[in-house]
């Protein structure tokens, strides 16, 4: 296949007509040949000095997640096996730190990393001792005649890696995802002057970036003088009834001025439905950029649609497909509705800073500070780890950074 991913997308759009933004995002991030997360290294676009995910800050986030997992395990009655699925697991860094923290649930733990990027699954295999999926359930003892075989207790932790979520009812435990939802493809709509919705599609060739002015006038009318992003540009088309219904549901109760744009998170809806179906008993824990719809409307797309490239904020989302990450803050209302549809209860919805406080971060930081102060004159490993814990905690709870992430805990009640 020849040409850059952008050129290939432009050629395909030339044949098919303008693409929904979700289709463009799917190709730009996940196309097997040139998608951002398919590239060698799997698109470590947010790692670096300025933009890091919580597991990349250091080992402390993993240690706190290990505490959370222990809490869920106890609440489930300490089952063995206890399944933890980490979706969008990237390089496997979080899994490594969770295990290094030696959680109490470890001997019961079956840790399943789910990552769709082949390049990142290869990185996980470098970092972790992975078992093939077919034996990751652990050894079993034959049961009585006519009964199922019983898992041998105390064999964990056993790790494996998959490319998609396990099937219906496979998980008794926790499905966890850090910064996955914001990378799932969404559609874009813009409020029309008549109070309806136009869909913002991605066109190629002489199409318009018609995001300003009267969107109804601009619909479907190419404007060769409009700003372009390489070979691609925005095209407004009338939204389908299905998209209108999804957008209306999302903004219910909010005043949306003409010209305002929102993301309709198709990927989030589908993923939460799949997680709900995989979870027999336990919790889905989602950590991500997010905010209420009122705030997102207030901020506008400049405030909720972001790109990252080369460890920095990138350019316009249509620029250089495959070379930059494309992400959007997730509307809290969308998570709540998707959870409800999936038969899950929203057990808590809080900030990362508050969630970590509930896991006892303050006591652990105080211990770290004491270890550093005790050893500061001649720092040993314990003192250095103590100092690092203090610094990591500041980053993980920073109210203008990672501490402001939302943490949604969705429950499938153990009684089910």
Which residues are near ligand SAM by CB under 6 A? 37, 42, 46, 53, 55-56, 87-90, 114-117, 120, 164, 178-180, 183-184, 271
Would you say 239 or 402 has its CB closer to ligand SAM? 402
Q: Least separation, in Å, of the C-beta of 290 and ligand SAM?
A: 14
Would you say 192 or 397 has its CB closer to ligand SAM? 397
Would you say 90 or 386 has its CB closer to ligand SAM? 90
Coil, strand, or helix at residue 110? Answer: strand
Would you say 180 or 393 has its CB closer to ligand SAM? 180
DSSP 168-200: TT-EEEEEEEES-GGGS--EEEEE-TTS-EEEE
Q: Least separation, in Å, of the C-beta of 234 and ligand SAM?
A: 24
The strand pairing partners of 229, in sequence order, are 232
Q: Least separation, in Å, of the C-beta of 264 and ligand SAM?
A: 17
Residues 46 and 308 sit within 8 Å (Cβ to Cβ): yes
Residue showing the smallest CB distance to ligand SAM in the complex: 88
Q: Least separation, in Å, of the C-beta of 167 and ligand SAM?
A: 14
Number of helices and strands in the chain (H, E): 15, 19
Would you say 173 or 215 has its CB closer to ligand SAM? 173
CA distance 253 to 92: 40
User: Whose CA is closest to 228, among 166, 320, 301?
Assistant: 320
Give the pairing type, strands 279-288 and 261-264.
unpaired
297 contact partners, CB below 8 Å, separation of at least 6: 251, 254, 256, 260, 262
Q: Least separation, in Å, of the C-beta of 160 and ligand SAM?
A: 14
Tell me the HSE value of 158 on the side-chain side, using a 13 A CA sphere. 21
Residues 414 and 347 sit within 8 Å (Cβ to Cβ): no
Would you say 85 or 411 has its CB closer to ligand SAM? 85
The strand pairing partners of 124, in sequence order, are none
Q: Least separation, in Å, of the C-beta of 162 and ligand SAM?
A: 9
Residues 214 and 244 sit within 8 Å (Cβ to Cβ): no
Q: Least separation, in Å, of the C-beta of 252 and ligand SAM?
A: 27
Would you say 51 or 385 has its CB closer to ligand SAM? 51
């Amino acid at each position: 296949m020849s040409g850059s991913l952008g050129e290939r997308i432009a050629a395909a759009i030339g044949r098919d007509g303008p693409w929904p933004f979700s289709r463009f995002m799917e190709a730009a991030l996940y196309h097997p040949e040139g998608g951002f997360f398919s590239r060698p290294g799997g698109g470590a676009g947010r790692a670096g000095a300025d933009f890091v995910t919580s597991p990349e800050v250091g080992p402390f986030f993993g240690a706190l997640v290990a505490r959370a997992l222990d809490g869920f395990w106890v609440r489930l009655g300490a089952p063995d096996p206890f399944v933890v699925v980490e979706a969008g697991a990237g390089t496997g860094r979080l899994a490594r730190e969770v295990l290094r923290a030696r959680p109490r649930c470890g001997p019961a733990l079956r840790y399943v990393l789910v990552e769709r990027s082949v390049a990142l699954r290869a990185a996980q295999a470098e970092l972790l001792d992975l078992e093939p999926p077919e034996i990751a359930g652990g050894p079993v003892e034959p049961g009585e005649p006519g009964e199922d075989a019983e898992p041998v207790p105390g064999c964990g932790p056993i790790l494996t890696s998959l490319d998609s979520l396990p099937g219906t009812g496979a998980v008794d435990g926790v499905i966890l995802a850090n910064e996955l939802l914001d990378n799932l493809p969404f559609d874009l709509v813009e409020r029309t002057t008549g109070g309806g919705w136009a869909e913002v599609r991605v066109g190629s060739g002489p199409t318009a970036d018609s995001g300003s002015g009267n969107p109804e006038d601009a619909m479907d009318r190419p404007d060769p003088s409009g700003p372009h992003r390489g070979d691609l540009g925005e095209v407004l088309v009338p939204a389908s009834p299905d998209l209108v219904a999804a957008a209306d549901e999302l903004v219910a109760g909010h005043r949306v001025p003409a010209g305002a744009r929102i993301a309709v998170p198709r990927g989030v809806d589908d993923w939460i439905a799949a997680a709900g179906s995989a979870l027999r008993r336990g919790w889905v824990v989602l950590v991500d950029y997010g905010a209420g719809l009122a705030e997102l409307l207030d901020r506008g797309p400049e405030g909720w649609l972001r790109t990252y490239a080369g460890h920095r904020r990138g350019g316009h989302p249509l620029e250089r497909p495959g070379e930059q990450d494309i992400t959007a803050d997730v509307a809290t209302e969308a998570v709540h509705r998707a959870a409800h549809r999936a038969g899950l209860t929203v057990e808590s919805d809080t900030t990362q800073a508050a969630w970590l406080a509930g896991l006892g971060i303050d006591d652990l930081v105080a211990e770290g500070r004491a270890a550093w102060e005790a050893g500061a004159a001649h720092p040993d490993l314990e003192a250095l780890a103590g100092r690092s814990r203090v610094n990591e905690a500041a980053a993980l709870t920073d109210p203008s950074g990672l501490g402001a992430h939302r943490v949604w805990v969705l429950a499938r009640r153990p009684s089910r």
